[in-house]
Structure 1
Amino acid sequence: MTSELEALCFDANDPLRLARFWAGVLGREVADDGLVLLPSDDTGFRIRFAPTHEQKTVPNQMHFDLTSASLEEQQETVARALELGGRHIDIGQLPEELHVVLADPEGNEFCLIEPGNNFLADTGFIGALSSDGSQEVGYFWSKALDWPLVWDQDQETAIQSPRGGSKITWGGPPVRAKTGKNRLHFDLAPPADGDQQAEVDRLVALGATHIDIGQGDVSWVVMADPDGNEFCVLAPR
């Protein structure tokens, strides 16, 4: 039995502040420690915030695409994000494009997608985790999570849980050269009756590798997907 996507983890210089920002934007409930946003009805994963001293210097490999039911709702979400400490940024978007590009208080990019986007029509508020990545890595994650491909054209790929919710997308080539550790990564959780080592072996067979990021003696296993993006395999819950 395959692991589930337990959490999306943000590296943060001020984890509590970033957790409060995203709780406010997404309307998520916060766990007792204040650093975990609990799953919503339309996404099955948590969002965690972990401390780091590293500063953000390059665009993230992955960002949220947030959906809107109307232009008014899009504008309300923009206003809420700005009030909570977000800001407008320019990543080369064209004036005629209707999505709004913002950054959170630590510079993590995200997009507010205009209403009527057919690709995100069957998703929740977090319409997609939009990722820079190869076709190969899209195929890897489809097999790793046992999520079917819902898009596979021109080397662009996307997967979605059979239960619905957020999609994970990869834009295909050219893929930016990786510099340093990603600030966002996945935490995978084997089932309660699962075997962590067996799951690690399965992921290696699919194309993942073991990596050392200085984690030391911990209960989770740090790995990288075929594009070199870090992820963790947790001990069974």
Structure 2
Amino acid sequence: MALRLVQVNFKARDDAALGRFWAEALGWGVSSEGPGVTNVEPVGFVWPDPVAVCVDVVTVPDPETVRYRAHIELATTSAAHHAESVARLKGLGATLADVGQGDVPWTVMADPEGNVFCVLEPREIYRDTGPIAAVVVDCADPRAMVRFWGEAIDWTVHEVTDDHAVLRSAEGVGPYLEFRRTPEAEIVGNRVHLDLLPYAGDDQAAEAARLRALGATDVDLGQGDVPWIVLADPEGNEFCVLGRPAAEA
């Protein structure tokens, strides 16, 4: 039993507008599964597939402004591509952001709703990831986090240190999932979280129970009666276990 990481979920004031930004930023297309939800994924993509972790943008009444513990990092292939990407993103409505990063070779930006992301300088490790190089989660203890997430999802652990832990799809495609040590503890809910999906034939409730045994806890965000299960990892980061469509369950 295992789960797959299928998408990064953004809370938004305007899902359609933010979805359009991220579609243009990534060179992907948009669709919608219903009012208030915009799905951003590669054109021609058959969901789910480890070649891409998609973006799901959901309108909520009051998405709080917080320092987010999860963010996306974008890949570039050359210094010129990096500069062109930053300029293009500014033209789409992104702004430069100062999160105390100091003098670094990557560029920190914020999307039109203030979600921070990074445009990385060229790095060999990200040459084949697609536009999203990594999904990064700040944490206090990367070793503990990778113990949980390494069991929670079917991804392979690539690196573990006191400061950094890295996973990637077992197929060796798509972006990396990285946990980076930060001294700041979470004090409010995240606007950005991860969505996990059971494999066909696996039971959503059984998977949620397995995650609780690994250290996850139930979270009540006022979600009410919904087809997904909201949990938090051992450091309090919310994530969702999605239900599969009836035809695939």
Superposition TM-score, scaled by structure 1 size: 0.91
CA 1:65–1:169: 2 relative to 1, 3 Å: same
Measured after TM superposition, the shift of residue 32 of structure 1 is: 4.5
CA 1:74–1:127: 2 relative to 1, 3 Å: same
- What do residues 59-80 of structure 1 show as CA deviations (whole Å, max 9, x unaligned)? 2111111111111111111111
> Which aligned pairs between 1:159-178 and structure 2 lie closer than 5 A?
159-163=167-171, 164-174=173-183, 176-178=184-186
1:195 pairs, out of 198, 203, 218, with: 203
- What do residues 122-152 of structure 1 show as CA deviations (whole Å, max 9, x unaligned)? 5322111121012212221111112121111
Contact 2:66 2:190 in 1 (8 A): no
Contact 1:194 1:236 in 2 (8 A): no
Aligned residue pair count: 234
2:40 pairs, out of 37, 40, 53, with: 37
Percent identity, aligned pairs only, is 39
After TM superposition, the structure 1 stretch with the greater mean CA deviation from structure 2, 39-48 or 62-71, is 39-48
> Which aligned pairs between 1:36-185 and structure 2 lie closer than 5 A?
36-39=39-42, 43-95=51-103, 97-115=104-122, 117-133=123-139, 134-135=141-142, 136-163=144-171, 164-174=173-183, 176-185=184-193
Q: Which residue of 2 aligns with 1:232?
A: 240
Measured after TM superposition, the shift of residue 39 of structure 1 is: 4.3
Measured after TM superposition, the shift of residue 45 of structure 1 is: 2.6
> Structure 2 regions of 5+ residues with no counterpart?
none
- Determine the C-alpha separation between the residues in 1 that align with 2:112 and 2:182: 29
Q: Which residue of 2 aligns with 1:25?
A: 25
Aligned to 1:123, the other structure's residue is in SS state: coil
What RMSD over aligned residues (CA atoms) do the two structures have, in Å? 1.8
Runs of 4+ in structure 1 over 6 Å off: none
Measured after TM superposition, the shift of residue 222 of structure 1 is: 0.9
> Structure 1 regions of 5+ residues with no counterpart?
none
Q: Which residue of 1 aligns with 2:225?
A: 217
Measured after TM superposition, the shift of residue 55 of structure 1 is: 4.1
- Determine the C-alpha separation between the residues in 2 that align with 1:195 and 1:55: 31
- Determine the C-alpha separation between the residues in 1 that align with 2:24 and 2:182: 34
Amino acid at match of 1:167: Y
Contact 1:195 1:236 in 2 (8 A): no
Contact 2:63 2:191 in 1 (8 A): no
Aligned to 2:155, the other structure's residue is in SS state: coil
Contact 1:56 1:106 in 2 (8 A): no
CA 1:85–1:112: 2 relative to 1, 3 Å: same
- Determine the C-alpha separation between the residues in 2 that align with 1:54 and 1:61: 18
- Determine the C-alpha separation between the residues in 2 that align with 1:15 and 1:232: 18
- Determine the C-alpha separation between the residues in 1 that align with 2:52 and 2:238: 20
- Determine the C-alpha separation between the residues in 2 that align with 1:150 and 1:56: 34
CA 1:225–1:86: 2 relative to 1, 3 Å: same
- Determine the C-alpha separation between the residues in 2 that align with 1:88 and 1:219: 37
Aligned to 1:150, the other structure's residue is in SS state: strand
Aligned to 1:132, the other structure's residue is in SS state: strand
Contact 2:68 2:115 in 1 (8 A): yes
Contact 2:27 2:42 in 1 (8 A): no
